């Protein structure tokens, strides 16, 4: 994807990896990475671990793919006119010469199946088809989540900081994304999303669409319980270029952290993530909270923590970091929004809180009740293995393809964005 498939990476990269693993059971996969020059992960990350799963690997940088920089609201390319020219970066529009340049780099032009990872890959593939530069017997797409829903939640939660023009562009972006989602859902063979709620919403928006649930999954070994050392160690893990993560973590630091420090002796917090913004790094440094950026593996941080926190204030889809913590055998405290779509029960597999005030009280409870931490972690691990293990995405992929003619020796062109 824009973040390359990586079984040990952050949520989007892990999902991409598992999708490729599931696809290879249906045919020979040619993987194509579409990216912009500001997508650091696509430039810096090696794709060699993917090689045993695919027939070929192709990287295609698309010049001029601009608009919103990543998913951070408020960072728009200057001017509504320029935005309209490019459209939303999640539903981009390129010139005919740019499309011909993309097609010239594709490893196959007439595959049996096109599988697009995320909406923008499907939009690009469809434009190539419309310009008769690419053809396929079948087309399916993994939206993961509804980006139009996510944009709307961003506007609701952070719109006041954008200014008048920023809000106008944000609403236009949300409209263009929703229109593209409907177009692809109606015209493609199948669409997958990671929650039942998003599947139902897409079916309402695009009646007749073959929309199926393809949940996020993780595959991690159970870690031994951490030996007591007189400290209570918290862990936050996430993509720190993703506004839902940075907004929630910032609110936690400002409202919950001082309260906790005054009540829990030996309290520590480690923040682990990719591409942290400078403002967040400065805030963490001022609080003397360690920031571990762009680490090769997150496992050592799970090994040394007592509780994983997910203070998410808005978002869509499901949090892979919650599933990962459950798989490793670490208890989680999350906002209700952060755990939305996972089917977890408060007090059983997780502690849920409606607001930041409740977040602090939940962590204080776990700090004082080690037996609760142990019991909750065990139930969470069992739940994750049953509902979000590797077998689930394999079964979901069969449902998504739904009889599409992609025989074992067929050619699948898998786009990542």
Higher pLDDT pick, 66 / 362: 362
Q: Is residue 150 part of a domain?
A: yes
Give the chain's end-to-end CA distance (angstroms, integer).
4
- Residue 174: exposure state from Cβ atoms within 10 A (0-12, 13-18, ≥19): buried
- Domain coverage including residue 323: 232-387
Q: Is residue 361 part of a domain?
A: yes
In three-state form (DSSP H/G/I as H, E/B as E, the rest C), the secondary structure along the chain is CCCCCCCCCCHHHHHHHHHHHHHCCCCEEEEEEEECCCCHHHHHCCCHHHHHHCCEEEEEECCCCCCCCCCCCCCCCCCHHHHHHHCCCCCCCCCHHHHHHHHHHCCCCCCCEEEEECHHHHHHHHHHHHCCCCCCCEEEEEEECCHHHHHHHHHHHHHHHCHHHHHHHHHHHHHHHHHHHHHHHHHCCEEEECCHHHHHHHHHHCCCCCEEECCCCCCCCCCCCCCCCCCEEEEEEEECCCHHHHHHHHHHHHHCHHHHHCCCCCEEEEEEEECCCHHHHHHHHHCCCCEEECCCCCHHHHHCCCEEEECCCCCCCCCHHHHHHHHHCCCEEEECCCCCCCCCCECCCEEEECCHHHHHHHHHHHHHCHHHHHHHHHHHHHHHHHHCCHHHHHHHHHHHHCCCCCCCCCEEEEEEC
What is the predicted pLDDT for the residue at 363?
Answer: 97
Judgement on whether residues 212 and 342 belong to the same structural domain of the protein: no
Q: Which of 220-229, 256-265, 380-389, 395-404 shows the lowest mean pLDDT across its residues?
A: 395-404
Q: Is residue 35 part of a domain?
A: yes
Q: Is residue 370 part of a domain?
A: yes
346 phi/psi in degrees, rounded to 5: -60, 130
Please write the tens of the pLDDT for every residue from 70-98. 333 334 444 555 555 556 778 888 889 99
Judgement on whether residues 341 and 411 belong to the same structural domain of the protein: no
- Of the chain, the percentage scoring pLDDT greater than 90 comes to 63
Measured CA angle at 19 (ends 94, 194), to 5 deg: 85
Q: Measured between alpha carbons, how far is 120 from 108 in angstroms, rounded to an integer? A: 20
Q: Is residue 4 part of a domain?
A: no
Judgement on whether residues 198 and 239 belong to the same structural domain of the protein: no
Judgement on whether residues 299 and 312 belong to the same structural domain of the protein: yes
Please write the tens of the pLDDT for every residue from 100-134. 999 999 999 999 999 999 999 999 999 999 999 99
Judgement on whether residues 252 and 174 belong to the same structural domain of the protein: no
Judgement on whether residues 403 and 353 belong to the same structural domain of the protein: no
Judgement on whether residues 138 and 269 belong to the same structural domain of the protein: no
Judgement on whether residues 395 and 258 belong to the same structural domain of the protein: no
Q: Which of 67-81, 248-262, 330-344, 396-410 shows the lowest mean pLDDT across its residues?
A: 67-81
Q: Measured between alpha carbons, how far is 27 from 86 in angstroms, rounded to an integer? A: 34
CATH number at residue 131: 3.40.50.2000
Judgement on whether residues 382 and 394 belong to the same structural domain of the protein: no
Judgement on whether residues 363 and 398 belong to the same structural domain of the protein: no
Judgement on whether residues 155 and 75 belong to the same structural domain of the protein: yes
Number of compact structural domains in the chain? 2
Q: Is residue 223 part of a domain?
A: no
Please write the tens of the pLDDT for every residue from 33-84. 998 877 777 777 789 999 999 999 999 998 878 643 333 333 444 455 555 5
Please write the tens of the pLDDT for every residue from 387-398. 999 889 888 899
pLDDT band for 255, please (50, 70, 90 cuts): very high
Judgement on whether residues 245 and 183 belong to the same structural domain of the protein: no
């Amino acid at each position: 994807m824009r973040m390359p498939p990586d079984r040990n990476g952050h949520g989007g990269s892990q999902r991409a990896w598992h999708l490729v693993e599931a696809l290879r059971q249906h045919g020979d996969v040619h993987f194509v990475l579409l990216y912009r020059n500001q997508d650091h992960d696509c430039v810096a990350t090696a794709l060699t671990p993917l090689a045993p799963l695919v027939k070929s690997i192709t990287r295609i940088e698309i010049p001029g793919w601009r608009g919103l920089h990543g998913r951070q609201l408020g960072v728009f390319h200057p001017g509504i006119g320029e935005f309209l020219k490019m459209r939303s970066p999640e539903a981009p529009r390129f010139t005919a010469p740019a499309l011909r340049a993309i097609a010239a780099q594709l490893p196959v032009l007439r595959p049996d199946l096109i599988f697009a990872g995320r909406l923008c890959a499907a939009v690009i593939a469809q434009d190539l088809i419309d310009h008769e530069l690419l053809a396929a017997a079948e087309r399916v797409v993994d939206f993961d989540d509804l980006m139009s829903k996510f944009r709307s939640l961003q506007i609701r939660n952070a719109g006041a900081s954008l200014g008048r023009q920023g809000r106008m562009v944000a609403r236009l972006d949300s409209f263009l994304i929703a229109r593209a989602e409907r177009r692809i859902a109606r015209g493609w063979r199948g669409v997958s999303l990671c929650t039942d709620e998003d599947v139902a919403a897409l079916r309402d928006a695009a009646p007749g669409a073959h929309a199926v649930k393809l949940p996020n999954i993780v595959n991690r070994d159970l870690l031994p319980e951490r030996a007591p050392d007189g400290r209570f160690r918290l862990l936050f893990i996430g993509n720190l270029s993703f506004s839902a993560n940075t907004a929630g973590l910032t609110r936690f630091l400002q409202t919950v952290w001082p309260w906790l420090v005054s009540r829990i002796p030996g309290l520590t917090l480690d923040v682990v993530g990719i591409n942290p913004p400078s403002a967040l790094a400065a805030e963490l440094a001022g609080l003397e909270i360690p920031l571990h950026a762009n680490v090769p593996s997150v496992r050592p941080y799970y090994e040394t923590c007592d509780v994983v926190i997910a203070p998410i204030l808005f978002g869509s889809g499901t949090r892979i970091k919650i599933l990962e913590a459950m798989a490793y055998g670490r208890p989680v405290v999350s906002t209700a929004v952060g755990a939305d779509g996972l089917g977890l029960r408060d007090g059983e597999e997780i502690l849920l809180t409606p607001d930041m005030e409740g977040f602090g009280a939940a962590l204080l409870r776990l700090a004082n009740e080690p037996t609760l931490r142990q019991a909750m972690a065990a139930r969470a691990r069992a739940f994750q293995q049953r509902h979000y293990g590797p077998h689930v995405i394999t079964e979901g992929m069969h449902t998504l393809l739904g009889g599409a003619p992609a025989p074992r020796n067929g050619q699948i062109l898998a786009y990542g964005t």
